[in-house]
A and B are shown apart, each in its own frame.
Chain A
Amino acid sequence: MLRVHNLACARGGLPLLEGVSFALAPGQALVLRGPNGCGKTTLLRCVAGLQPALAGQIAAPPDSIAYAAHADGIKSTLTVAENLEFWAAIYGTAGIAKALERMNLKALSTRAAQNLSAGQKRRLGLARLMVTGRPVWVLDEPTVSLDHASVALFGDVVRAHLAGGGMALMATHIDLGLPEAEILDLAPFKAQMPQPGSGAFDEAFL
Chain B
Amino acid sequence: MIALLTRDLRLALRAGGGFGLGLAFFLILAVLVPLGVGPEPATLAVIAPGILWVGALLACLLSLDRIFALDYEDGSLDLLATAPVPLEAVVSIKALAHWLTTGLPLVLISPVMGLLLFLPGEAYLWLILSLLLGTPALSVIGTFGAALTVGLKRGGLLLSLLVLPLYIPTLVFGAEVVARGAQGLSTATPLALLAGLTLGAVALLPFASALVLRINLR
Checking A63, A67, A85, A92 against B79 with a beta-carbon cut-off of 8 angstroms, the contacting residue is A67
Q: List, in ascending order, chain A residues with CB within 8 A of B83's CB.
A: 87, 90-91
Q: How large is the interface on A (under 10, 10 to 19, 20 to 34, 35 or more residues)?
A: 20 to 34
User: Quick check: B7 and A77 within 8 Å, CB to CB?
Assistant: no
A110 at the interface (CB under 8 A from B): no
Q: Which residues of chain B in 60-103 are interfacial with respect to chain A, using CB atoms and an 8 Å cutoff? A: 71, 73-85
Q: List, in ascending order, chain B residues with CB within 8 A of A206's CB.
A: none
Inter-chain CA distance A85–B17, complex, in Å, is 20
Inter-chain CA distance A91–B83, complex, in Å, is 7
User: Quick check: A69 and B11 within 8 Å, CB to CB?
Assistant: no
Q: How large is the interface on B (under 10, 10 to 19, 20 to 34, 35 or more residues)?
A: 20 to 34
User: Quick check: B84 and A72 within 8 Å, CB to CB?
Assistant: no
Per-residue A-contact encoding for B7-19, CB less than 8 Å = 1, 0 else: 1001100111100
B99 to chain A minimum Cβ distance, whole angstroms, is 20
B80 to chain A minimum Cβ distance, whole angstroms, is 7
User: Quick check: A67 and B78 within 8 Å, CB to CB?
Assistant: yes
Q: List, in ascending order, chain A residues with CB within 8 A of B3's CB.
A: 85-86, 89-90
| Binding site secondary structure of chain A | loop
Check A92/B74 contact, CB under 8 A, given A75-B11, A77-B15: no
B4 at the interface (CB under 8 A from A): yes
Q: List, in ascending order, chain B residues with CB within 8 A of A73's CB.
A: 71, 74-80
User: Quick check: A69 and B79 within 8 Å, CB to CB?
Assistant: yes
Most chain A CB atoms below 10 A, which of B3, B16, B77: B3
Checking B73, B74, B84 against A90 with a beta-carbon cut-off of 8 angstroms, the contacting residue is B84
B108 at the interface (CB under 8 A from A): no
Tell which of A24-32, A43-51, A152-160, A170-178 binds the partner: A43-51
